[in-house]
């Protein structure tokens, strides 16, 4: 399997053997034609390998997926790692303060999965608004006429003319805005970090306050990192401000939306429905309230196992750009997407 941009992957002619410890399977990279440069010394290990620290003691770089358990600070104390490269957007697997204090560079890959996540959000909004979630089971059970009649009676609305509110207007939030705008949605966003807005969106996306966005949006799509200030960004108070016809989409991080509050809002019909691709713990515990809603609530609920950004195209780009950035680290060049 090949991709045009992978053929342009160039590294320096350095003969130095540079050690990288990678906590994802080598086959992931081989499958997408994004293998490590031959002059890298890469050790592929499982996160629960009991000899992880020993094998990583002389490594300079740690390469990790965005999803997984927290990397303990003791790992860095007992190894030579000075760069963490994440094959994704989330960087919540490391202790920000510790890495900053110890001059450990942390980089992610911004934008590579933006289109895939935006497509996921669009599909989820359509699945909920058009009541597509349970139709297959209903038809297979012989309820064709009943489900068709109920859907017609429900007076479904197309996306055209609705207002999309985007919380977090980075690369993924802006890509989501573009794809919904193409469907005829009005776009507004809230992001206190004052992100740089693409020129194509500057004239159509309106920046508003958090409360205005919550009260006036028909669909709210959340795209913020999990930080101390974004934990429970959407909880009972925020959900109470939303329209009872609104849809909430969370493809960012689980801790950003309070799951108990969301389950209550769905069950009490405070909002129309939600799509949840991320959970506070993954996989979610059996007692997670979103897994235990009554059947009648599930037709407006999309639950997926953190796959919003997983497509062939996005993974190939994530992997290749990660190797390129690691090469930049070894060459002493400015790093791409450095967050710490």
- C-alpha distance from residue 18 to each of 15, 51, 58, 78, 323 (Å): 9, 20, 10, 18, 12
Catalytic residue among 253, 299, 321, 328: 253
Catalytic residue among 39, 282, 298, 336: 282
Is 253 an annotated catalytic residue? yes
Q: How far apart are CA 127 and CA 220, in angstroms?
A: 15
Q: What are phi and psi of 245, to 5 degrees?
A: -105, 5
Q: What is the dihedral of CA 309, 196, 90, 92, to 10 degrees?
A: -160
Please tell me whether the peptide bond between 283 and the residue prior to it is cis, using omega within 30 degrees of 0: yes
Is 306 an annotated catalytic residue? yes
HSE, side-chain direction, 13 A CA sphere, residue 259 = 20
Q: How far apart are CA 33 and CA 7, in angstroms?
A: 9
Is 207 an annotated catalytic residue? no
Catalytic residue among 93, 115, 306, 328: 306
Q: How far apart are CA 88 and CA 322, in angstroms?
A: 9
Q: How far apart are CA 165 and CA 151, in angstroms?
A: 26
- Token readout for 311 is 């497509």
**What are the catalytic residues?**
253, 282, 306
């Amino acid at each position: 399997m090949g991709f045009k941009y992978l053929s342009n992957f160039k590294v320096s002619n350095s003969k130095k053997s540079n050690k990288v410890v990678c906590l994802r399977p080598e086959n992931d990279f081989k499958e997408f034609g994004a293998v490590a440069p031959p002059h890298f010394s890469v050790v592929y290990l499982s996160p629960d390998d009991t000899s992880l620290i020993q094998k990583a003691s002389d490594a300079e770089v740690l390469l990790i997926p965005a999803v997984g358990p927290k990397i303990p600070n003791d790992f860095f104390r007992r190894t030579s790692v000075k760069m963490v490269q994440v094959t994704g957007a989330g960087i919540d697997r490391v202790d920000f303060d510790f890495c900053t204090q110890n001059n450990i560079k942390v980089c992610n890959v911004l934008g590579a999965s933006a289109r895939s996540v935006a497509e996921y959000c669009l599909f989820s909004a359509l699945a909920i608004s058009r009541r597509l979630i349970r139709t297959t089971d209903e038809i297979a059970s012989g309820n064709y006429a009943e489900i068709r009649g109920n859907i017609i009676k429900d007076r479904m609305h197309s996306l055209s003319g609705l207002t999309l509110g985007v919380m977090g207007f980075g690369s993924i939030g802006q890509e989501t805005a573009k794809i919904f705008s193409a469907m005829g949605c009005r776009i507004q966003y809230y992001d206190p970090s004052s992100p740089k807005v693409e020129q194509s969106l500057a004239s159509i996306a309106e920046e508003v306050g958090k409360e205005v966005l919550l009260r006036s949006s028909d669909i709210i799509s959340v795209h913020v990192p999990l930080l101390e200030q974004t934990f429970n960004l959407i909880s009972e108070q925020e959900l109470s401000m939303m329209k009872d016809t609104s849809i909430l989409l969370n493809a960012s991080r689980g801790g950003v939306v309070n799951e108990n509050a969301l389950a209550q809002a769905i069950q009490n019909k405070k909002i129309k429905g939600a799509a949840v691709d991320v959970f506070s713990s993954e996989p979610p515990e059996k007692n997670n309230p979103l897994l235990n809603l009554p059947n009648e609530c599930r037709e407006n609920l999309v639950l997926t196992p953190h796959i919003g950004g997983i497509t062939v195209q996005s993974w190939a780009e994530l992997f290749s750009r990660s190797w390129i950035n690691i090469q930049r680290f070894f060459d002493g060049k400015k790093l791409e997407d450095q967050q710490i």
